Amino acid sequence: MKPEIRIPSLIMSTNHMDYEKMKEVVTAGLRIGYRAFDTARDYQNEPVVGQVLKECLAETGISREEIFITTKIGNSQQAEGNIEEQIDISLRNLQTDYVDCWMMHWPYPDYYPQTYRKMEKVYRSGKARAIGMANFRLRHFKHLWQSGIDITPHYVQFEHHPLRTADDILAFCREHHIAVQAYSPLCRMISPVKDSPILKSIAERTGKSVAQVILRWHLQHGSIPCFLSTNAKRLEENFNIWDFELTSEDMTLIHSLDQDYKYHLESASCPGY
């Protein structure tokens, strides 16, 4: 049986941030109440994340144990194959003894089954308190299962929002007790989202913004939104979703927006995806 792993209900992404901006955003996020932070080796800022978190925790008096850090291993590290060395590099970058969640960033063809088996060793060592993957589809999970694994993944992170409800992946994850982290949970507020009559109607009735309605939808069907914002006011708005609840009809209507639409092109980072 997998150990219980507690993760905050909202995750802040640190992608595309330099030191100055990240320090500002993380300081604001901790003040608002955020306690989970997402990065990756391919974001090329793990050392910045580590330095900012070290400084911010010292300045706020928040302990390392109170925050949840996710990072990811990239395709080039999978190809090198020295997976157990790669976690040590990430730990040095992040200035921590462990990460709360370690993922492979992509199901890199011909590599990801053996990568995961090496990640299982890292999990047993305690250097990663949970392991998982990003950008997996159902066929990748099935292939991983067929290849033979000992530890069921704890988390999967993929693009998930009202325009991509990904029912097949969610059903598989529920069956196997894999927690879902949703990146691009607002689908970058593109027009079909921002201008949706359904979302605007629910927002007007509840007195919330369209973004708050979507984030609440995520929480109520069991996914953990992981979003990027460099605006402190927006961070505060996104956090203020605990004082209302969507009806079952609301949930069904939002679900009806599904188009199996993806904002991010997978083939750019995963040939043969």
What are the catalytic residues? Answer: 43
Tell me the HSE value of 248 on the side-chain side, using a 13 A CA sphere: 0
Cα 202 from Cα 209, distance rounded (Å): 9
Task: Give the Cα separation of 9 and 218 in Å (integer).
Answer: 10
Q: Report the C-alpha gap between 120 and 125 in whole angstroms.
A: 9
Q: What is the largest CA-CA distance in the chain?
A: 53
Task: Please name the residue that has the structure tokens 């590290």.
Answer: 77
Pick from 192, 238, 240: which is nearest to 211 by CA? 238
Q: What does the alpha-carbon distance between residue 202 and residue 232 come to, in Å, rounded to a whole number?
A: 25
- By C-alpha distance, which of 41, 27, 48, 142 is closest to 82? 41
Strand partners, 68: 36
The DSSP secondary-structure symbol of 128 reads: B
> Exposure pattern of 64-77 as b/e (b: 16+ CB <10 Å)?
eeebbbbbbbbbeb
